[in-house]
């Protein structure tokens, strides 16, 4: 059975280290990890980064308009924030990536605990034997 952790969908609040009044509610990136061969380059385009930012940023505190009223975190205001305050985007994307990495590592630990020493596991039979 595959279990889904509802806490991940709820997101986690992070305070920006340089701007203590600025907080972001972030969920893990939905981007799959791709294992590259040594020397292989994986290019990420600007639309990929924007899509990831829009997906991962769920809410914020400390972001306001010219009237100092708190702005709602929706796609339109996220894009405005992206265009005017792009120095914070790396923080959001990095945190989302770290969360995804932590989830993957926890899953690996969970999977390794399932196959304890001494357990019998089905072994594949060789397809052909070379004499």
> Within 10 A of 104 (CB to CB), how many other CB atoms are there?
13
**Which of 51, 52, 54, 59 shows the shortest CA–CA distance to 10?**
59
The answer to whether the pTM exceeds 0.75 is: no
Q: Of 12, 33, 3, 19, nearest to 101 (Cα)?
A: 33
Is residue 57 helix, strand or coil? strand
- Calculate the dihedral angle through the C-alpha atoms of 28, 33, 39, 42, rounding to the nearest 10 degrees: -70
Residue boundaries of the structural domains of the chain: 11-30+42-105
What does each of the 131 residues of the chain score in pLDDT, given as a tens digit? 777 666 567 799 999 999 999 999 999 886 655 566 777 766 667 778 888 899 999 999 999 988 989 999 999 999 999 999 888 988 998 899 888 888 778 878 888 887 656 555 555 544 444 54
């Amino acid at each position: 059975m595959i279990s889904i952790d509802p806490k991940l969908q709820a997101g986690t609040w992070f305070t920006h280290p340089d701007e203590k009044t600025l907080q972001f509610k972030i969920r893990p990136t939905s981007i799959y990890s791709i294992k590259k061969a040594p020397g292989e380059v994986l290019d990420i385009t600007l639309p990929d980064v924007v899509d990831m930012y829009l997906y991962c940023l769920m809410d914020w505190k400390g972001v306001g308009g010219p009237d100092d009223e708190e702005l709602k975190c929706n796609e339109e205001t996220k894009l405005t924030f992206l265009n005017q305050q792009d120095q914070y985007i790396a923080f959001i994307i990095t945190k989302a990536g770290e969360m995804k990495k932590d989830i993957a590592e926890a899953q690996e630990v969970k999977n390794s605990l399932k196959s304890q020493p001494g357990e019998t596991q089905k072994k594949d039979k060789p397809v052909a034997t070379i004499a």
